[in-house]
Amino acid sequence: MSDLAVFDQYESEVRGYIRSFPVIFDRAHGSVLVAEDGREYLDFFSGAGVLNYGHNNPVFTRALIEYLESGGIIHGLDMATAAKREFIAAFQRLVLEPRGLDYKLQFTGPTGANAVEAALKVARQATGRSNVVAFTNGFHGLSLGALAATGNEKYRAAGGVTLGGVTRLPYDGYLGEGVDTLDLFERMLDDPGSGLDLPAAVIVEAIQGEGGINVARPEWLRRLREITEARGILLIVDDIQAGVGRSGAFFSFEESGIVPDLVTVSKSISASGLPMALLLLRPEVDVWEPGAHTGTFRGNNLAFVSARAALETYWADSAFTDAIADRSAQLRDALTAIAADFPAAQFTVRGRGLMYGLASPSRPELAGAVSQEAFKHGLVIETSGGRDEVLKFLPALTISADELNRGLGVVREALATLG
Ligand code: PLP
């Protein structure tokens, strides 16, 4: 094991992932992390969804080095820069236009949480209402506005204040198969005695990442869109984790065909791991006064350079989504076989694209134990869900079939060891 004394001694107790993966990582390439002692680890975590195109993808490294050497602007507040103009043009041409989407782009502070804050604020301003509906097991970030929409008890408790302005409703599947949880929402909206204040917005993940890889059915999302549209409630899709190809399409809501009013995007949008976040707004919802949601680090021009390189390299045709579909089928088949081969764990397999979970509600401690055991054998894999009961498969979208197989083999062996 690497020497972690300096972290133990000087870094805050808040540190998290270092405890699950206690080695000192030094370098990385593609789906491989290399520790300081030279040991290699296969990465099934991808920086919690930041590294959809793998670590140090040479396409972006080259673009970034060229930009740095050319003396390009690094920090630009929200001033006009050439790098930003080229990113906006590429996003328009390669993402929005082909999908028939009409959104303005807001460059928020560079975290996902800040894009969520902006979405909630502008939705409240645009409607003149304050209540927001969020769902069970939703995760939207940890700043106070976003935290109010986040479900997890541990994070909410750390906020230290009363979190208000959000009504929690059951996500798709929360009450078991055969129950459409939107019946409750619709009933409450139409009943003046329900106690539900007409919301400004509903915020939803099409696939819940931190909440346990829960997938909303396309018909559920379509009904949610209909219910909200009919009542002038804005629909925010939080695509911070499930977006940028993770679900198998650029946006996670594409499969359902819905058009949200607002979309938050972050994590893999910069492609290189550099911080960047975006809020997409339907033009009618863009009611901001100039400078009303500001922030020092909205102009990370290096991030714009790698973001644009990614769009031009991976999103100009369907080759990338075809490759994701192949790996996705491989992952689903392998997880289905694992679930069948370890019946005592009573696993359910859920997910889409390259975002899958192996959930064991009857043995919630199993996912964490597998993650630890797998790490000993060179695999980085995380857990998610309210009780951390879901083993979360989030490999790079660029992972090879061999690497995917190798990691799945480690999971299988870990399960066999743990019994
Ligand atoms: N929304 C979703 C769906 C997320 O998965 C996350 C982070 O995991 C966030 C928001 C918050 O992003 P950040 O940690 O960059 O603030």
Pocket probe mutation, ligand 1, options 205, 267, 274, 355, max atoms within 8 Å of Cβ: 267
Pocket probe mutation, ligand 1, options 266, 382, 390, max atoms within 8 Å of Cβ: 266
Tokens 């899709």 label which residue?
237
- Distance between Cα 408 and ligand 1 center (Å): 26
Pocket probe mutation, ligand 1, options 17, 140, 142, max atoms within 8 Å of Cβ: 140
Question: Angle of helix 301-314 relative to helix 82-91, nearest 10 degrees?
Answer: 30
Residue 247 located in a structural domain: yes
Q: Does 2 have pLDDT greater than 70?
A: no
Mean confidence (pLDDT) of the chain: 97
Q: Which residues contact 102 (CB under 8 A, 6 or more apart)?
A: 96, 282, 283
Residue 327 located in a structural domain: yes
- Distance between Cα 161 and ligand 1 center (Å): 20
pLDDT confidence of residue 43: 98
Residues 83 and 177 in one domain: yes
pLDDT tier, 419 (very low <50, low <70, confident <90, very high otherwise): confident
Residues 267 and 165 in one domain: yes
Domain boundaries, position 15: 5-57+318-418
For the residues 337-353, what does the mean pLDDT come to?
Answer: 98
Residues 36 and 78 in one domain: no
- Structure tokens given for 272: 């290189």
Residue 62 located in a structural domain: no
For the residues 331-342, what does the mean pLDDT come to?
Answer: 98
| Residue 25 to residues 6, 21, 22, 407, Cα–Cα distance (Å) | 14, 9, 9, 18
Residues 273 and 368 in one domain: no
Residues 366 and 284 in one domain: no
Q: Does 289 have pLDDT greater than 90?
A: yes
Q: For position 220, which CATH number holds?
A: 3.40.640.10
- Distance between Cα 122 and ligand 1 center (Å): 18
Residues with CB under 6 A from ligand 1: 48, 111-113, 116, 139-141, 205, 209-210, 238, 240-241, 266
Last residue of a domain, one of 314, 348, 378: 314
- Distance between Cα 240 and ligand 1 center (Å): 6
Residues 409 and 281 in one domain: no
Residue 226 located in a structural domain: yes
Tokens 């040991």 label which residue?
39
Residues 23 and 158 in one domain: no
For the residues 56-64, what does the mean pLDDT come to?
Answer: 98
Domain total in the chain: 2
Residues 287 and 340 in one domain: no
HSE value, Cβ hemisphere, 13 Å, CA-based, for 360: 22
| Residue 27 to residues 30, 34, 40, 50, 376, Cα–Cα distance (Å) | 11, 5, 9, 16, 19
Q: Pick 104 or 2 by higher pLDDT.
A: 104
pLDDT confidence of residue 372: 98
Residues 49 and 105 in one domain: no
Residues 310 and 322 in one domain: no
pLDDT confidence of residue 398: 98
CA distance linking residue 196 with residue 16, whole number of Å? 36
Residues 303 and 360 in one domain: no
Q: Does 1 have pLDDT greater than 70?
A: no
What value does the CA radius of gyration of the chain take, rounded to a whole number of Å?
21
Residues 77-102: tens digit of each pLDDT: 999 999 999 999 999 999 999 999 99
Residues 99 and 213 in one domain: yes
Q: For position 360, which CATH number holds?
A: 3.90.1150.10
Percentage of residues in the chain having pLDDT higher than 90 = 99
CA distance linking residue 8 with residue 21, whole number of Å? 14
| Residue 156 to residues 118, 144, 211, Cα–Cα distance (Å) | 20, 9, 14
Q: Which residues contact 128 (CB under 8 A, 6 or more apart)?
A: 200
CA dihedral sign, ordered 402, 404, 410, 414: negative
Residues 229-246: tens digit of each pLDDT: 999 999 999 999 999 999
Residues 142-179: tens digit of each pLDDT: 999 999 999 999 999 999 999 999 999 999 999 999 99
Q: Does 288 have pLDDT greater than 60?
A: yes
For the residues 67-82, what does the mean pLDDT come to?
Answer: 97
Tell me the DSSP string of 26-63.
Answer: EEEEBTEEEETTS-EEEESSHHHHT-TT-BT-HHHHHH
Nearest atom of ligand 1 to the alpha carbon of 277? 15
pLDDT tier, 321 (very low <50, low <70, confident <90, very high otherwise): very high
